[in-house]
Amino acid sequence: MGLNLTQKILNSHLRSGKVGSGGEIGISIDQTLTQDATGTMAYLQFEAMGIPKVKTELSVSYVDHNTLQTGFENADDHAFLQSCASRFGVYFSRPGNGICHQVHLERFGIPGKTLLGSDSHTPTGGGLGMLAIGAGGLDVAVAMGGGEFYIKDPKIVKVWLTGKLPPWVSAKDVILELLRRLSVKGGVGKIFEYAGPGVATLSVPERATIANMGAELGATTSIFPSDEQTKLFLRAQNREKDWIPLQADPDASYDEEIIIDLSSLEPLVAKPHMPDNVVPVTELIGTKVQQVAIGSCTNSSYRDLMTVASILKGKVVHPEVSLVISPGSRQVLTMIANNGALTDLLDAGARILESTCGPCIGMGQAPASGAVSLRTFNRNFKGRSGTIDAGIYLVSPEVAAASALTGTITDPRTLGPYPEIELPEYYRVDDSLILAPSNSEVEIVRGPNIKPLPVAPKLSDRLELPVAIKLGNDITTDDIMPAGAKILPLRSNIPAMSEYVFSKIDEGFSARAKALGQSIIIAGHNYGQGSSREHAALVPMYLGIRVVIAKSFARIHKANLINFGILPLTFKQEEDYDLLTPDSKLIFDNLTQAIFSSEPIPVKIDNTDKTIYLQHDFTERQARILLAGGLLNYTREANK
């Protein structure tokens, strides 16, 4: 039996475990990326390990999230990140150079390599044939130090593509179709591997869009083969030497198979407030629109913006629509400036933003109260835009541009002939804003916003914990630790950031958690979906959260909880969730033994005669991390 593409890369990087065993595997990491919203913690953690230089083939630090400088915090932290990069042997992509995933695809991604990034959309690299995985910053710091990265041996899902996308239907509609079929929980524990004759019809930027939003399925990652399309892209980036052919064996086996006929797809829209709330655009025609935002790491490539510019050329956006565009990289921005497309966008009334994440993470351009905002982004969680009552719809660049012209949600197929965009034979290559690390000893710059790194206490054998909050299903990391222009600048100041934990749900949570000292969180299914931000685990740990009990967890967040010494446990019987109230107090005994056992953990509800049973699937390594009080303590002890 032959191997699929994922198995080939996993096997070539395997350090521990066995691919196909269903257990935990550890893999070596070739490349890492961090971004500035998660990078400050990652480099504080790397520094705490006492390792002088990174041990990866390549590590890159990007500044793309917190570029809005309303105070000293962001600028100070950028100086910190730049000095850390030079000190530890990391390339530094300066503010304005572009969004990490777009730039990494253009300048650094290599087929067949492993990439670990402190951002949940790191799987964008799968468009190039990389095994690219999002993780918490601490996992990335360990990988930079040469440590292996651990995941549960994933199920491999073959997505067989046939046909060719019709005019006005784009790569965004492919991933929206998968979300419509599978939901935001449908990819947990799985890697989606794309194959079939339809793959050859998709360019690398189109593949990257699909791989990028695979994160919204909860998938570990997504990957495309490295073929002639990949070779064309790398040649155009003056990187043909990085290309290798890579695909599954003809007789490879998979755990599941999904078939998508590209020619049968139509323009789709994800309605508020989840990426899987997907319907055909035809169901929403005529819905009034106040804002259109084009960009993000999902849809900000040269191809995307050229498509939009072609649609808007010679026209003007509706007078009641605000159109904002964020080019994905300086390469994209300069190329559309040089060929005149930028002028077409400006003449149409578009507002051009920096080549950053911007509105996607609530960093500016919040919609008006109650407004409808169409966005080519990857997430539409309630309040993420910065306006709690706004209706955020996820769409393709084609739907976005058509709707900007009419002022209502519009089927772009009504616009006439589809603009055929020819990809350039060569992209404009200018890496002057990517700084190579220094070989000399560099002093790390620390502004007043850089506070000491909090460390979790070691696990106690007995815990008596009151419930700090009880939550429902699909709680996102945005719900736990909100982003946006007000809070993200505090990312390296955990005491200040702690004031905002669950602030969109319960403004009194932070004060209550502090008063309780140590406490517990109760939640429903898919707790911690969305962004990889480890602050959603780190800051609750700082507030005394010791256990989270949920019906199920999102992959990255569960790993982050373990990394910061918080016990993620699930109900053996889901109905026991109903027995717990915000006033409950739970008593745990013999925890140090229980985390090494596969037996259910009995937990008494204080002042009642009821006992509930909780369960976990910790590996021995994870149990030892929890016993040590988190991955940082565990790594320090291992290196003594």
Backbone dihedral angles phi then psi of residue 621, each to the nearest 5 degrees: -60, -45
Over pLDDT 90: what percentage of the chain? Answer: 80
**Whose CA is closest to 311, among 157, 154, 417?**
417
Architecture of the domain delimited by 463-638: Alpha-Beta Barrel (3.20)
Task: Band the pLDDT of 198: cuts 50, 70, 90.
Answer: very high
Give the pLDDT score at 209.
97
In terms of pLDDT, which residue wins out, 618 or 487? Answer: 618
Contacts of residue 135, defined as CB under 8 A and 6 or more positions apart, other chains included, come to: 116, 117, 118, 122, 149, 532, 556, 559
Domain at 268-412: CATH code = 3.30.499.10
The answer, yes or no, to whether residue 639 has pLDDT greater than 70, is no
The pLDDT of 534-560, averaged and rounded, is 93
Rounded to two decimals, the pTM is: 0.90
The answer, yes or no, to whether residue 486 has pLDDT greater than 80, is no
How far is Cα 261 from Cα 272, in angstroms, rounded to an integer?
Answer: 27
Domain limits of the chain?
5-264, 268-412, 463-638
In terms of pLDDT, which residue wins out, 441 or 149? Answer: 149
Give the C-alpha distances (Å, rounded to integers) separating 210 from 126, 221, 636: 9, 11, 38
Give the pLDDT score at 362.
76
- Residue 596 is classified by DSSP as T
**Residue 239: burial class (beta carbons within 10 Å; 0-12, 13-18, 19+):** middle
Backbone dihedral angles phi then psi of residue 523, each to the nearest 5 degrees: -150, 170
pLDDT in tens, 234-246: 999 999 999 999 9
Least confident of 191-195, 521-525, 526-530: 526-530
Structure tokens given for 405 = 């012209």
In terms of pLDDT, which residue wins out, 441 or 415? Answer: 415
Give the pLDDT score at 245.
97
The answer, yes or no, to whether residue 488 has pLDDT greater than 80, is no
CB 469 within 8 A of CB 506: yes
How far is Cα 351 from Cα 344, in angstroms, rounded to an integer?
Answer: 12
pLDDT in tens, 335-366: 999 999 999 999 999 999 998 887 888 778 88
The answer, yes or no, to whether residue 272 has pLDDT greater than 70, is yes
Average model confidence (pLDDT) across the chain: 93
The answer, yes or no, to whether residue 281 has pLDDT greater than 90, is yes
pLDDT in tens, 296-337: 999 999 999 999 999 999 999 999 999 999 999 999 999 999
Give the pLDDT score at 640.
60
The answer, yes or no, to whether residue 532 has pLDDT greater than 80, is no
Architecture of the domain delimited by 5-264: 2-Layer Sandwich (3.30)
How far is Cα 331 from Cα 430, in angstroms, rounded to an integer?
Answer: 7
With the C-alpha atoms ordered 251, 252, 257, 260, is the resulting torsion angle positive or negative? negative
CA angle centred on 621, ends 617 and 625, rounded to 5°:
100
Asked if the domains 268-412 and 463-638 are classified in one and the same CATH topology, the answer is no
Q: What is the DSSP string of 189-206?
A: TEEEEEESGGGGGS-HHH
Q: How many CB atoms lie within 10 A of CB 293?
A: 27
pLDDT in tens, 456-478: 888 999 999 999 999 999 999 98
pLDDT in tens, 107-124: 999 999 999 999 989 999
In terms of pLDDT, which residue wins out, 34 or 364? Answer: 34
